[in-house]
Amino acid sequence: AQSVTQPDIHITVSEGASLELRCNYSYGATPYLFWYVQSPGQGLQLLLKYFSGDTLVQGIKGFEAEFKRSQSSFNLRKPSVHWSDAAEYFCAVGARSGGGADGLTFGKGTHLIIQP
Amino acid sequence: DSGVTQTPKHLITATGQRVTLRCSPRSGDLSVYWYQQSLDQGLQFLIHYYNGEERAKGNILERFSAQQFPDLHSELNLSSLELGDSALYFCASSATAGTSGEQFFGPGTRLTVL
């Protein structure tokens, strides 16, 4: 079964500084990879996804993520954070096998705090 | 706004009771996924329906069941509720039957079991 590890429970970044959130996954092959953001009291919104091809993927709100097969990682980055980026961020994997009917497997999340 | 609606937003009930959570997917989406978000377990996949048929089960308890109706809305039934069932329950809809399709999440139903 697949699993996702987000090693950082909380991260504090100053507004305008760069951001990197870490994600490592365990899966027998290359899974589908996703990053979601959850603002307080809201559902999850998809930031970006990786299926195949270019290992650097661009998402919404200025986020990008890089898939590194050798490290089983899919880290999320943003060059300059804004106060509105404060939220909970979830990395998720989806299985390619079995028709992919299973739901996504999520990491525990990283809580991002933005300092003024 | 994802286009996915969930009712009710909040639900407070007692142990041993039964509740029903409702989800209306985005227009045209045939897949509905249910997830449970709790402090100790995080976000867990419960069950997936596609066009009225159950496609996959995750960590869903036997006390829980779901169905998807001909109009594609879905209901998650939770019975014999325990304190540990208190959580945020999300549904997500997708146009496809597999995880390659983007899942659009609803705002969730917060269940509190007293």
Closest Cα in chain A to B90: A43
- At residue A101, the pLDDT reads 66
The DSSP bridge partners found for residue B92 are B33, B105
Q: How confident is the model at residue B92 (pLDDT cuts 50, 70, 90)?
A: very high
Chain-centre distance of CA B93, in angstroms?
10
At B24 the pLDDT is: 98
Average pLDDT for chain B: 94
Looking at CA atoms only, how far is residue B104 from chain A in angstroms?
7
pLDDT of A18 reads 97
Out of B42, B48, B107, the one facing A101 most closely (by C-beta) is: B48
CA distance B16 to B39: 22
Residue A67 has pLDDT above 70, yes or no: yes
- What's the CA gap between A64 and A54, in Å, rounded? 12
Residue of A nearest to B96 (CA): A101
The pLDDT score that the predictor gives to residue A41 is: 80
Nearest to A99 among B44, B46, B98 (CB): B98
Q: Which of A49, A99, A104 sits opposite B97 (nearest CB)?
A: A99
Q: What are the chain B neighbours of A27 within 8 Å (beta carbons)?
A: none
Contact between A43 and B102 using a beta-carbon 8 Å cutoff: no
Q: What is the pLDDT of residue A92?
A: 95
Residue whose entry in the numeric block shows the structure tokens 């594609």: B72
Distance (Å) from the alpha carbon of B112 to chain A's nearest alpha carbon: 15
Work out the minimum CA distance from B38 to partner chain A, whole angstroms. 10
Amino acid letter at A101? A
Top pLDDT among A28 and B91 is at B91
- CA–CA separation, B2 vs B17, rounded Å? 31
